[in-house]
Structure 1
Amino acid sequence: MQAAVGVGTSLLLLLAWEAAARAGLVNSTFLPSPVAVLNAMLLMVQKQNLLWHAGVSTLRVWTAFALAAAMAVPVGILMSSYRVVGAALEPIIDFIRYLPVPALVPLSIIWFGVGESTKLYLLWLGTFFQLVLLVADDMRRVPQEYVEIAYTLGARTPQVLRDVAFRAMLPGLVDNLRITLGWCWTYLIIAEIVAADSGIGFVIWTARRYMKTPEVMAGVVVIGIIGLVTDQLLRAAHRRAFRYL
């Protein structure tokens, strides 16, 4: 039922958009019709290797996200479990996560040059500092009685963290990973305008330079489709893995 409502609403929006474009209510230079965007997308698949560019961008996002998650999960758990660690790191993380990533592009180029490492760093930067605080919050939500029972039964701190607290926080953690993966995608354009010659961001930026609005919209739509499919797959995996919720 919910899927049908979602599909129906999306179709109605597309029909309204197409009708407005055909009626001349919007300037096609600034907002091309859905049909024009679809035609541009098909042409880009055939002649501009759009699917290959999408694969490159997906690989970059997942690589940076995996690195951010691998670092954020243990750091977040330690911040929540040990007050000294939290007191030491939280002010620094709060400071950095409010910095706009575009403003750090020049520094990133100075530090890493204009290669692949800069793109991955910018994607990581937009994800890690947000995720580590979400992980710490998930850890704080673990019921205290779980921890107390584990200590009563003779468990040591590493065992409590690994076998009790981590498993209790896992459903919320997976959900937050899904959300922050979407945030990582939002920094893709910023990452791929740094001396890039591949990726959806590069395609969009090149099309913008020549005012090819249908191609710009096509690139944006591709990102949206990838994000929607990924999100739905992760939601389904979450429901399957945590049926007891």
Structure 2
Amino acid sequence: MTTPEPAPREYSYLKPSVFWSIRQGFPRWLSLLLVGLALIVPLLLWMAISSLKLVPPMFLPTPASVIDAGIKMFTDENLIVDVLASSTRVLAGFVVAGIIGVPIGLAMGTFYSLDSLFAPIVGTVRYMPVTAFVPLIVIWLGLEEPSKILIIMLGVVLYNAIMVADAVKFIPNEMINVAYTLGATRRDVVFKVIIPAAFPSVLDTLRVNISGAWNFLVIAELVASQNGLGFKIIQAQRFLQTDKVLFCIALIGIIGLVIDYGLKWSFQQLTPWADQIRH
């Protein structure tokens, strides 16, 4: 008696998709279209709500009135001075945070001993709100620029350390073992294997965390500032000048976007091999 042959197995093939493709390339025109929609649709909603006065103009002015307020701030209130002041504070705080945070992260990710030493401190302090330290910072450093720079630095430095440490821990052990097999010393492994391998992730960490520096700008400029975009926002808020508040917020977003794309382009030039791996 012969056994019946099993029915042929039916295979289901994944249907091709442009929109839902997973890391398989994406048309440039469609990418630009989606970027445009992401920017234009919220703007149209804002224009419709404000023009129809569904919300009082005091709370939601029209885009045109926000732009007019911004032009007046540049011409009559010398807003460019505030832009330069805020940018200088953010840059100074972020550079200090990088100088401190990146070496700590490299040390934590490389050596178990230093991870055990720094992890309890970093893990505990990063949950403490920076605003709680403002009174102490004023007592320690006064009301001058160092106190503002320190606030921005504290808001970013621990995240730099943690993210860099995680990047180092993801380096395959095989790379380190091969280096030892070829006769490398511990110093060689650190400076010729770990740091070059982690370098692209360190740059990405800095690019991501610079947004945190801008987020802490308003807190920093609460400390007896006489200029800066955060100072302008607080001053306009007191007089219910919502159009000025919205313009300063949008201006910070535009500056941050320019910085982000600038850093992304710079990092692609510095680490082209990493960009190829990601794609």
**Short-chain TM bin:** over 0.9
Looking at CA atoms only, which structure, 1 or 2, has the larger radius of gyration? 2
Q: 1:34 offset after TM fit, Å?
A: 1.2
Q: Report the counterpart of residue 86 of structure 2 in structure 1.
A: 57
Quote the residue 2:70 is aligned against: 41
- Alpha-carbon RMSD across the aligned residues, in angstroms, is 1.2
Map of 1:120 onto structure 2: 149
Given the alignment of the two structures, is residue 211 of structure 1 paired with residue 232 of structure 2, yes or no? Answer: no
Task: Give me the TM-score of the superposition, normalised by structure 2.
Answer: 0.85
What is the match of residue 131 of structure 1? 160
1:241: Cα distance to partner? 3.0
Superposition pairs of residues 1-80 of structure 1, within 5 angstroms: 1=29, 2-80=31-109
- Cα deviation for residue 8 of structure 1 reads 3.2
- Partner SS state of residue 224, structure 2: coil
Aligned with 2:121 (options 92, 97, 101):
92
Where 1:25 maps in the other structure, the secondary structure is coil
The structure 2 residue matched to 1:151, chosen from 167, 180, 188, is: 180
CA distance in 2, matches of 1:138, 1:176: 9
Deviation at 1:5, TM superposition (A): 2.1
Q: Hey, what's the Cα distance between the residues in 2 that align with 1:9 and 1:81?
A: 41
Identify the residue that residue 169 of structure 1 maps to in structure 2: 198
| CA distances 1:118-159 after superposition (whole Å, capped 9, x unpaired) | 100000000001110111101101111111111222222122
Deviation at 1:4, TM superposition (A): 3.7
What is the rounded CA distance, in whole Å, between the counterparts of 2:210 and 2:33 in structure 1? 26
Q: Distance in 2 between matches of 1:96 and 1:159?
A: 33
Change (3 A) 1:197 1:141: same
Misfit runs of 4+, over 6 Å: none
* Structure having the larger proportion of residues in helix: 1
Identity, % of aligned positions? 34
Residues 6-59 of structure 1 show CA distances to partners (whole Å, capped at 9, x for unaligned) of 133212211221111010111211121211111111110111111221111111
Q: How many residues align?
A: 245
Residue 202 of structure 1, CA deviation? 0.8
Alignment correspondent of 1:235: 264
Superposed displacement of residue 198, structure 1:
1.2
TM-score, length of structure 1 as denominator length: 0.96
